[in-house]
Amino acid sequence: DQVLHIVPETFQQVQHLQLLHSTLLLDLWKPLMPEDIMAGEDLHIRVPAPLVQEVKDILDQHMISYRVLIPDVQELVDQSMPRERSSHKQVLEDYVYTQYHPMEEIYQWMTQIQNNYSELVTQHFLGTTFENRPMYYLQISKPSNKLKKIIWMDCGIHAREWISPAFCQWFVKEILQNYKSDPKIRRFLQNLDLYVLPVLNVDGYIYSWETDRLWRKNRSPYENGTCYGTDLNRNFNSSWGSVGVSFNCSSNVFCGSAPESEPETRAVAQFIRRKKSDIACFLTIHSYGQLILSPYGSTTKPPSNNEELIQVGNKAAAALTGKYGTSYKVGPPSLILYNNSGSSRDWAHMIGIPLSYTFELRDNGTYGFLLPANQIQPTCEETM
């Protein structure tokens, strides 16, 4: 539903609007009574969603100008409702994928996903964070005799990039809800297994909900507890510590005390190393920037399969743009973003995984890390 703001200019326009109100039974917010609609005075009127286009067409026909005051009434209603998060029992059918969820709810969601789709999904323990929280990934796998290649996707390595875990949850939902009806997805799962880690940096994510929305790193202490956090995407063993990092804990790109010094990094690295010969594609999801980044960040020297990497990347970007026109750029960060070392994407490629990408989702800086929840749906739809 939308609320439109109109200032009628003539008495004739007033009459048109009164007629519109009575025939379509629209909801007048201001003034309260249709008789009080006057030329030169503000009119606020709520239009139910199915009638929005029709009403706008009629207004255009009569050359009555309007402005959308509230583009989505339901959203405002949801936001203003007091939500008892802790006592409220979560039900999977009611899970709102177009809102950001705190870690507690994401943990619950994973359990529920496994329960509801047990023929396809198993939840696995990957490791523990510094603050002793479990890291879980979901394995989406159609049981079969043949050994299948793996696609790995992790989200939320940087705490403040909330759109990233939102995307992982959306992705899982899309695959599972449409598995039965979509032949493309069925064929996909016939040949590939999906491993999805919805939140890699659990401690950081919780910290960004409870204390500092713009926190990036994990929460391990350094310098006798006077300084916190390693940038997990500088902590992998790929030209570690060489460029685009800081050795000072207070920096947002502190690379840790050594490659894989952080428990979160180790948990991922140990797992990927074990499975590397079966992993066809490694994806790590970030924001913002609207970029599809291929290796490497530490050097402009192209990787051995650069042509293939760029070609696949370009196809992905084209498909993405095709949905809502959002433009994404493709290339290595050393050319199109900034130099950095120790990233998970570079490391995955260096240990032999052929296709390795970092996705930087919406937007381009207008909201940056604070992407409004109403962009979750279009961002996720185009990225699918």
Site string for other proteins, 164-203 (x = CB under 8 A): ----------------------------------------
Q: What angle do CA 328, 380, 136 make, to 5 degrees?
A: 115
Q: Is 213 in the site for other proteins (CB under 8 A)?
A: yes
The answer to whether 16 touches 37, Cβ cutoff 8 Å, is: no
Closer to other proteins by Cβ: residue 49 or 370: 370
Contacts of 262 (CB under 8 A, 6+ apart): 130, 218, 220, 230, 232, 235, 256
Closer to other proteins by Cβ: residue 195 or 254: 254
Annotate 100-155 with DSSP letters as a single string: ---HHHHHHHHHHHHHHTTTTEEEEEEEE-TTS-EEEEEEE----SS--EEEEEEE
Q: Is 365 in the site for other proteins (CB under 8 A)?
A: yes
Q: Output the smallest distance, CB 279 to other proteins, in A.
A: 27
Query: Which of 24, 58, 70, 350 touches other proteins (CB under 8 A)?
Result: 70
Q: Is 370 in the site for other proteins (CB under 8 A)?
A: yes
Check 307, 360, 381, 382 and give the catalytic one. 360
Cα distances from 200 to residues 9, 133, 262, 297, 310, in angstroms, run 56, 11, 12, 21, 26
Closer to other proteins by Cβ: residue 176 or 230: 230
Q: Is 329 in the site for other proteins (CB under 8 A)?
A: yes
**Of 143-151, 177-185, 190-198, 245-253: span binding other proteins (CB under 8 A):** 245-253
**Of 18-26, 83-91, 105-113, 366-374: span binding other proteins (CB under 8 A):** 366-374
CA atoms within 13 A on the CB side of 321: 13
Q: Is 85 in the site for other proteins (CB under 8 A)?
A: no
Q: In this structure, what is the dihedral angle of CA atoms 321, 355, 141, 116, given to the nearest 10 degrees? A: -40
Question: Mapping DSSP to helix (H, G, I), strand (E, B) and coil, where does residue 354 land?
Answer: coil
**Of 220-228, 243-251, 270-278, 308-316: span binding other proteins (CB under 8 A):** 243-251
Q: Output the smallest distance, CB 165 to other proteins, in A.
A: 14
Closer to other proteins by Cβ: residue 49 or 214: 214
The answer to whether 334 touches 298, Cβ cutoff 8 Å, is: yes
- Residue length, the chain? 384
**Of 106-114, 115-123, 259-267, 368-376: span binding other proteins (CB under 8 A):** 368-376
Q: Is 214 in the site for other proteins (CB under 8 A)?
A: yes
Q: What angle do CA 355, 204, 373 make, to 5 degrees?
A: 80
Q: Is 79 in the site for other proteins (CB under 8 A)?
A: yes
The footprint of other proteins on this chain (CB under 8 A) covers a number of residues equal to 32
Whether 75 is catalytic is no
Q: What are 140's strand-pairing partners?
A: 121, 194
Cβ-based neighbour number of residue 361 at 10 Å:
27
Q: Which of 298, 365, 295, 371 is nearest to 330 (CA)?
A: 295
Residues interacting with other proteins, by CB under 8 A? 69-70, 79, 99-100, 209, 213-214, 216, 244, 246, 251-253, 289, 329, 331, 335-338, 364-373, 375
Q: What are the residue numbers of the active site?
A: 360
